[in-house]
Chains A and B, each alone.
Chain A
Amino acid sequence: MTSDTSSISTPSDPPEASSTSSEPPMDLSLPSSSPSEPTSDARPNLIDIPENLQVRLKPEGDKLLLILPPDAEQTKSPIGFSWNEVWQQFKQQLSARERFWQPNSAVYLMVGDRLLDNRQLQAIADELSDLQLQLRWVYTSRRQTAVVAATAGYSVEQQTAAAPIAKPTTAAPSMEEPLYVQMTLRSGTEIRHNGTVVVLGDLNPGSSVIAAGDILVWGRLRGVAHAGCKGDSRCLILALQLEPTQIRIADFVARAPETPPAHYHPEVAYVSPKRTIRIARASDFQRPEWENQA
């Protein structure tokens, strides 16, 4: 069993696809801007993936951590989520990753300073037990939630608000174990992972995967894929059928050609030494030689 940090969500505003002038079919690069002039508005921002941005299920040894993001109403921060959104994410996580934990794993629920009422807690417990998972511990910084959880018969640890709830273990490593997802990502679904992502299924238009490492799609990639989102331009995007809305590697961006090719082959997208995103047939692909660069 691997330990990983990942999240699946359904964001309300999908990232806007930037457009560029048309290019020859095999070169999907933007008009290149040299690295020293970071002016081009088409270059995507590098993305950090904070620990508690979305609902996350994280196997850790023989237990499973279920980490909830902060509440939209309490945190003034825009990354807060309403209960409804949290619930959707939670269910999606469960259905996409069903095979990733042993039955009867104990679940440790980390709610931070989100308030949970009895019904919400019960809903989570019911859903987990449908999958033979048992809610055991509730970690909260709110007295109210601690009382609710204790009354419902769970072990409770009340932490001070300042304690980093989402980090029960040591600090997250710079890159985590690959995340394997077996589902078709439908419109509105987003996966963010601080490592490599493997999708067994399609990325439909309107979905996106944002990964600090590589992105491998055993299926059709028609949504948005952002590999090396923390800045590693050696990352790759591989797909059986690459017809993306947009692909990004580190801070490079490219979109599919206007006219789709008649046939698709497994392909690899990479950043060439000329610093543009290029696409090669998987069978022809050789990793470019990189001079040492950050």
Chain B
Amino acid sequence: MARIIVITSGKGGVGKTTTTANLGMALAKRRRKVVVVDADFGLRNLDLLLGLENRVVYTAVEVLAGQCRLEQALVKDKRFNNLALLPAAQNRTKEAVTPDQMKQLVNALARVYEYILIDCPAGIEMGFQNAIAAAKEAVIVTTPEISAVRDADRVIGLLEANNVKQIQLLINRIKPAMVQANDMMSVADVQEILAVKLLGVIPDDEKVIVSTNKGEPLVLSETPSQAGTAFDNVVRRLEGEPVPFMDLTVRDEGLLSRLRRILSNRA
């Protein structure tokens, strides 16, 4: 049975689209049949992050209007042909589709794909309702900020009320140094409020921005990065592998390196 997962947050700009692109790509690397669905009508980004913008011809709206077949709207990834994108219309608003239509689309996709990742728009209005309509699972993305956590809490409540009961948490943009200085909420602080299962912790990493601009999700990069590895780990956990959480504490130096630092400071 296909796993239908919505990536959502409440608050905007916390990394939903980045997460969707990386998880989609990492699953594709593992030879899963994946389709990522951009549910952010009017503000679509997912095609950009995947580097597929110039290949978008039709969108979900044309499919629903009967102007093309679902298959025609799907953009196949050039790197992995087992990854596809269902683009959102850029020229329409969130009201252009209904939750029922969204369900139809996703259920059709579920017959072919193993994973359906839905990139949810920010907010809790129509666009959110559409994005969660067909979902069986949710990944809540939050940053360790009080406002993002508050919105995440609200969204979890709404998901629960809409019978999306399998909810996991992804904490994005952690800055270990700030956490240690007590200037940022820690993973434990966030978990304490939200009380849902932790799926992963992604450090704040400049390479994310570089990869966004290149249209190439970090998990594809040859040179390993902390954030890329963290996304890979998330996917392994999604697939049921027990993967220990990365140690993100600021270098808790061993005796040797501490000595070396002290000595070099002397020099």
Contacts and interface: CB of A to CB of B under 8 A. Distances in A.
B129 A186 contact: no
B161 interface: yes
Contacts of B163: 91
Contacts of B129: 84
B158 A10 contact: yes
Given A84-B129, A92-B161, A95-B160, A188 B154 contact: yes
A184 interface: yes
7 contacts: A91-B161, A185-B157, A187-B153, A187-B154, A188-B153, A206-B153, A206-B154
Interface of A: 10, 84, 88, 91-92, 95, 184-189, 204-206
B158 A204 contact: no
A186 B156 contact: yes
B158 A206 contact: no
Contacts of A185: 157
Contacts of B151: 187
Contact of B157 (A84, A186, A205): A186
Contacts of B153: 186-188, 204-206
B162 interface: yes
A189 B193 contact: no
Closest 9 CB pairs of A and B: A186-B157, A188-B154, A91-B161, A187-B153, A187-B154, A92-B161, A186-B153, A187-B150, A206-B150
A133 to B, nearest CB: 16
A10 B158 CA distance: 9
Interface of B: 126, 129, 150-151, 153-154, 156-158, 160-163, 193, 195
Nearest to A204: B153
Given A91-B161, A91-B162, A95-B160, 13 more contacts: A10-B154, A88-B161, A91-B163, A92-B161, A95-B161, A186-B154, A186-B157, A187-B150, A187-B151, A187-B153, A188-B154, A188-B157, A189-B157
A37 B253 CA distance: 62
A205 B151 CA distance: 10
Contacts of A205: 150, 153, 193
A185 B161 CA distance: 12
Contacts of A186: 153-154, 156-157, 160
Contact of B195 (A84, A184, A189, A206): A184
Nearest to B163: A91
A212 B154 CA distance: 25
Nearest to B157: A186
A204 B154 CA distance: 10
Contacts of B156: 186
Nearest to A127: B163
A97 B244 CA distance: 37
A187 B161 contact: no
B36 to A, nearest CB: 26
A54 to B, nearest CB: 14
A76 to B, nearest CB: 22
User: Which of B156, B157, B158 has most A Cβ within 10 Å?
Assistant: B157
A204 to B, nearest CB: 5
Nearest to B10: A187
A249 to B, nearest CB: 25
B192 to A, nearest CB: 9
Contacts of A184: 195
A43 B70 CA distance: 58
B41 to A, nearest CB: 17
Contacts of B162: 91
A184 B153 CA distance: 10
Contacts of B160: 95, 186
Contacts of A91: 161-163
A88 B150 contact: no
A88 B195 contact: no
Contacts of A189: 157
A189 B150 CA distance: 12
User: Which of B156, B158, B195 has most A Cβ within 10 Å?
Assistant: B158
A153 to B, nearest CB: 22
A91 B154 CA distance: 14
A10 B124 CA distance: 11
B40 to A, nearest CB: 19
Given A84-B129, A184-B195, A205-B193, A92 B150 contact: no
Contacts of B161: 88, 91-92, 95
Contacts of B154: 10, 186-188, 206
A229 B162 CA distance: 31
Nearest to A222: B193
A187 B156 CA distance: 9
A204 B193 CA distance: 7
User: Which of A186, A204, A205 has most B Cβ within 10 Å?
Assistant: A186
